[in-house]
Amino acid sequence: MRKKIIEWIWRYGPAEIVAITVAIVVGQIVFHKTGNQALTVYSSSLSETLFFYCVILLRDFLKIIQPRKAIDIITLVRNLLVEFGPAELIDTFAARPFCMYVFISITHDLSLGIALGKIVSDIAFYIPTIISYELRKKHLP
């Protein structure tokens, strides 16, 4: 199990570091420009999602351009959809913005609320994501 946890941290950790940083920065900018908490959490959530997948996609793409690990782009996209699709549908548009909104309201601190909301929603996100990832590795080439 320890080996699996290390694999998951290596797979998702770098993307999470970029994503939380972007979410907080975008949240700060949007809130200071608009003062609208709902717009802030949706902007943070969407930007976090975009940058998370940019990192994942870049890392996976760099793996497939190596001659010994060549798979096609269609397989890469399929794998990402299988791995993230089920969890992402609920997460980006409902769970993550809701958690961010609640934690901003509770803490009265924009950055802390965004970070806590992201962490709590990540727990719900990663359960189906990791299950999908492991099933994909086992059953799809």
Parse the chain into domains and list their residue ranges.
2-139
Residue 66 has what pLDDT? 64
CA distance 24 to 98: 15
The SS3 call for residue 108 is coil
pTM of the entire predicted model: 0.85
* Nearest residue to 113 via CA among 126, 122, 100, 124: 100
The answer for residues whose C-beta is within 8 angstroms of residue 130's C-beta and 6 or more apart is 8
Radius of gyration of the chain (CA): 16
Q: Look up residue 81 and give its amino acid.
A: L
Residue 89 has what pLDDT? 84
Residue 92 has what pLDDT? 82
Residue 75 has what pLDDT? 83
Residue 90 has what pLDDT? 86
The answer for residues whose C-beta is within 8 angstroms of residue 13's C-beta and 6 or more apart is none
- For residues 18 and 55, the answer to whether their CB atoms sit within 8 Å is yes
Please write the tens of the pLDDT for every residue from 67-115: 655 567 788 888 999 999 989 888 888 899 999 999 999 999 999 999 9
Structure tokens of 14?
A: 């770098």
- For residues 117 and 24, the answer to whether their CB atoms sit within 8 Å is no
Please write the tens of the pLDDT for every residue from 8-67: 999 999 999 999 999 999 999 999 999 999 999 999 999 999 999 999 999 988 877 766
